[in-house]
Structures are given as structure tokens and as C-alpha cells.
Amino acid sequence: MALVKSPGGSIFPYFYKNGEIHCLKYGSYYEQEEALIRLMKEEEMFLLNQPKRLPVWVDLYKTKLNPRVLGALLNNLDTLQSRILRLALVGMSFGAKRKWERLLKNRESGFPFTIRHYSDPEEAKTWLVGE
């Protein structure tokens, strides 16, 4: 069986503690907004062509989450909502979380899945697989 990787380099699906998850590797983009937004679009095309919904964690460490990037992330997740069962956002600063919550409040409707914030990827992945 051939190993499948998403555009961000994540193994798809990623097996973790008897469950399957997917990682959107949006971390370590620092201030490279255009490259990150391009990757978001590539991940959309990849995931929308997959036959299943999965729990997803988003790596956001070392990426500047300014209003433009947060808006692009919101649009990205909106596009992908039919493929996401639960969502863990990992590595968001306190200030970015507040901006994110404001963006969510301004939406007409919420997402059809639970969203949680984590600083530790292992805790996020454990929650995603339901342990």
C-alpha cells in the first residue's frame, strides 16, 4: 500500500492511538502569508477529493496570525467543513485566540464540529481520537 501525503507533507490518514486523524501543517510560515494561503488552497483541493471525514488538527506554531491569515484560515476551514469531524487548533497565541473568537462570533453560523485550542499537539491528537 502506497503512502499518501497531503500537500503540506502530512501522511494521510495519520494513524494515532487506534484512530485516524489529519494534520494541516500551517506552522513555521512566520510572515510568509502568500505561501501559507497557497498551501491552504492546495490542502482544500486534496481533502475535498478524499472520501472520508476525519478529526483534524492544525499546526499553527511559528506562524504570524494577523487578521488576513486568520481570515484565510476561517475561509479554509469553512471550505473543508464537510471533511472535518472535530478540530484542534494548536499553537495559537492568546492574542490570536481572541481575534479568532471575534471572527467566529461575526459569522452567521457556527461550524458543525467542535473546535478546541491546545498548546500541546499530543493532547490535541489524544482528544481528536477520543481518548
Nearest to 50 by CA among 19, 4, 87: 4
pLDDT on residue 124:
98
In the predicted model, what is the mean pLDDT of the chain?
95
Structural domains of the chain, with CATH: 14-128 (3.30.750)
**Can you tell me the mean pLDDT for 49-61?**
96
Note the pLDDT tens digit of each residue in 60-74: 999 999 999 999 999
pLDDT on residue 107:
85
Note the pLDDT tens digit of each residue in 119-131: 999 999 999 999 6
**120 residue type, one letter:** D
CA distance 27 to 64: 9
**pTM for the whole structure:** 0.94
Q: Using 50, 70 and 90 to split pLDDT, how confident is the model at 19?
A: very high
